[in-house]
A and B are shown apart, each in its own frame.
Chain A
Amino acid sequence: AQRVTQPEKLLSVFKGAPVELKCNYSYSGSPELFWYVQYSRQRLQLLLRHISRESIKGFTADLNKGETSFHLKKPFAQEEDSAMYYCALSGQTGNQFYFGTGTSLTVIP
C-alpha cells in the first residue's frame, strides 16, 4: 500500500542553522515525489518535484530509492521558511497524491 511518513510533527531550528525535514515512503512501483508548503494563511503550494532536480528557495530534496526517502534540506534556514511542509507521492497512474501528515517548521530568530 502507498504510504508517506513524516516522522516529525514539529521542528524548530535557529535562523542560519541547517534544516532537514524527513520523508519516507512506501510504494511498490516507481514513485514520483513532491514537497508542498503551506505558509500561514496561504494555500498549499508546490515547492519542488524530484523529477526536476531543482532547488527552490534554497531547498533541495534527493530521492533515495534504497532508503525509500525524500528528505527536504536547506543549509541555512531563514525566518520566512517557517511553514507547514507536506511530502507527497504520486503513483504510476498519476491520478492522485498520497500526502504525509506534515511537519510544522519554526525558524527561531
Chain B
Amino acid sequence: DTGVSQDPRHKITKRGQNVTFRCDPISEHNRLYWYRQTLGQGPEFLTYFQNEAQLEKSRLLSDRFSAERPKGSFSTLEIQRTEQGDSAMYLCASSRDRLSHYGYTFGSGTRLTVV
C-alpha cells in the first residue's frame, strides 16, 4: 500500500464550473477526512467518514460542497459552481481508529485554482 492517494494533483477551473476530487485511503483505514488549506493557514476540517457514513460536516462545507464515500473505500469531494474563494489545497487523510491513537496519514493534496 502506497499511502493515501489523491487525484488530480492540480486542477485549474473557470469560475462557475463544477469540480470533483478523488481520494483513495489506506485500505485498512476505516476513517476518511477532508481538509482545506488556504495560503498561510493550517488545514481546516471539512468532513469525516467512518466507513461509508458521513458523520460530521464543518460549517465551511457550504451547500455547494458535497462528499461521498459510497462503498466505504474511496471518497469524492465535489464543488459546484466554483468561486475564486474556493482556491485552496484540498487534503484527504485517513486513520485506522480514533485519531488520537495514531494520528492521520495525509495525501499529497489537490491544489484547486479557480480563475
Contacts and interface: CB of A to CB of B under 8 A. Distances in A.
Which secondary structure characterizes the binding site on chain A?
strand
A5 to B, nearest CB: 11
B42 A86 contact: yes
A32 interface: yes
B107 interface: yes
Interface residues of B, number: 23
Contact of A99 (B44, B100, B109): B44
Nearest to B107: A43
Interface of B: 33, 40-45, 48, 55-56, 58, 91, 98-101, 103-109
7 contacts: A44-B106, A45-B105, A46-B104, A49-B100, A95-B48, A96-B58, A97-B45
Interface of A: 4, 9, 32, 34, 36, 43-46, 49, 51, 86, 88, 90, 94-102
* A-B complex: 8 closest residue pairs judged by Cβ atoms: A99-B42, A46-B103, A96-B45, A94-B98, A32-B100, A44-B106, A43-B108, A94-B100
